Amino acid sequence: AIDIRNLRSQSGLITFDPGLGNTGSCQSDITFIEGDLGILRYRGIPLEQFQDNPNFVEVALALIFGELPNQEQYAQFSASLTKNANLDEDMKHHFAGFPRSAPPMAVLSAMISTLSCFHPEFLELEDETQFARAAARLISKVRTLAAYAYRRSLGLPYNYPDPSLPYVSNFLHMMFSEPYKQYSMEEEVLTALNLILILHADHEQNCSTSTVRMVGSSGANLFASCAAGVSALWGPLHGGANMAVIDMLEAIHQGNMTPEAYVALAKDKDSSVKLMGFGHRVYRNFDPRATILRDVCEKLLNKLGINDPLLEIAKKLEEIALSDSYFIERKLYPNVDFYSGIILRAIGIPTSMFTVIFAIGRLPGWIAHWYEQHSQNDGKIWRPRQVYTGLNEGRFIPRSERG
Ligand code: ACO
């Protein structure tokens, strides 16, 4: 038999990088991260500069098209978002097929895929104008899909988008307006939600964005590629962590465990427990998004007069972990998910929708990366190699002889 170990040496050098932590998969102009210094920039603009008057739509445009929009570009794109906010009536029938208990991330992924069926004109993009139309349609409709997924889960009818409202307010309107208005349009709420979306908008080659680029590398269309991104984001080690953080804080609050005992369990290698919302592949100092959100969280809760015991528990966990050698040596700090959930709760967003909010925020990043890859036009399909560790050569044994 041929010894496959010799064959391996003939197939050229393969780098072995589990988790791809040291592999550069592409060249990109979109987002810069320096994890040791806690730097995050979108198109060269430091994240902190988006804090005053945050506007998610203009950040989305900067990520997708390379620079902040001028007045006319902004007005045009906003008009396009308004025009595309509604769903095709036939699309709504699809919602009826999901059980009420369907996880909203499953519904979102499926419904984004469904956009490929209802908008076939965007399956082959001819130029940037057509791409811009596809991007506007996707960004606009994803918010409607998310809101309707939530309403279906409660058995409530669709709330039609209100063309007079800007992007974020319109989302709150579609989620909560009927049968009774249960949300605040206070400036602080809109600012916090805009900021949350902005802070999630891109993060270079994270798991979901790499998935979008992987799927896009085969030539798959924008909708199909972004639907795959939603699936990747769903996992608890990625976007799903924002829900897991609240579950963790709730469990502590309900008296199942003290913060000290939880941290001890998270350090115990025999337990499968982690301190959720802590640690990051790239940030080994602090996550600048978490620093901003901690501040926003305190201010928003104060402004709304909410005394959420989960905030105190989160701060206690942070205090314990940041003075514990386990976390210090491993350079584990709060990440974007640690405080975002407490803000979303204060706004009235249910925990089941947290990862969906992350997806709405990350969508411009996915679109920007999909388009950058599409435009780079090197035509290369992504196809990593592996290090085979199986049998050298097996033998097919007929079933009758297998006992
Ligand atoms: N709690 C306890 N221990 C942890 C944690 C944590 N949250 N995070 C990492 N560690 C430990 C690991 O067990 C490992 O210990 P070891 O060296 O003794 O084996 C060490 O720290 C290094 O961790 P890795 O898992 O190798 O780090 P990696 O870069 O692969 O993973 C990740 C990063 C997935 C974010 C991890 O820190 C984690 O699981 N955190 C909790 C989940 C979470 O908050 N995810 C959201 C990430 S941000 C985002 O996607 C938006």
94-133 burial by CB neighbour count: b if 16+ within 10 A, else e?
Answer: bbeebeeeebbbebbbbbbbbbbebbeebeebeeeeebbb
CA of 265 relative to ligand 1 center, distance in Å: 14
Cβ atoms < 10 Å from Cβ of 326: 14
Q: Look at ligand 1, atom 50, and give the residue with the nearest C-alpha.
A: 238
Indicate which residue's Cα is closest to atom 46 of ligand 1.
Answer: 238
The reported pLDDT for the residue numbered 12 is 76
Give buried/exposed letters for 367-389 (b at 16+ CB in 10 A, else e): bbbbbbbbeeeeeeeeeeeeeee
287 is catalytic: no
Task: Identify the residue whose C-alpha is closest to ligand 1 atom 4.
Answer: 274
pTM over 0.90, yes/no: yes
pLDDT at 6 over 70: no
Q: How far apart are CA 283 and CA 277, in angstroms?
A: 13
**What pLDDT does 201 receive?**
98
Ligand 1: lining residues by beta carbon, under 6 Å:
19, 237-239, 241, 266, 274-281, 330, 332, 335-337
Question: For 125-151, what is each residue's pLDDT tens digit?
Answer: 889 999 999 999 999 999 999 999 999
With beta carbons less than 8 A apart as the criterion, state whether 138 and 368 touch. no
State phi, psi for 397 to the nearest 5 degrees: -105, 125
The mean pLDDT value for 241-249 works out to 93
Mean pLDDT of the chain: 93
Token pair of 183 as six digits: 């949300």
Hey, whose CA ends up nearest to atom 36 of ligand 1?
A: 279
CA 371 to chain centre: 18
Residue 213 has which token pair? 């680029």
Indicate if 280 belongs to the active site. yes
Percent of the chain with pLDDT over 90: 83
Catalytic residue among 337, 369, 374, 378: 337
- DSSP letter at 353? G
- According to the model, what pLDDT value does residue 316 have? 97
**What is the C-alpha to C-alpha distance for residues 177 and 160, in angstroms, rounded to an integer?**
10
- Ligand 1 center to residue 331 CA distance, Å? 10
Q: What is the phi/psi pair of residue 31, to 5°?
A: -130, 140
Identify the weakest region by mean pLDDT among 8-12, 14-18, 88-92.
Answer: 8-12
Q: Are 287 and 334 in contact (CB under 8 A)?
A: yes
| 260-317 residue pLDDT tens | 999 999 999 999 999 999 999 899 888 999 999 999 999 999 999 999 999 999 999 9
Cis geometry, peptide bond prior to residue 179 (ω within 30 degrees of 0): yes
* Section 153-167 average pLDDT: 93
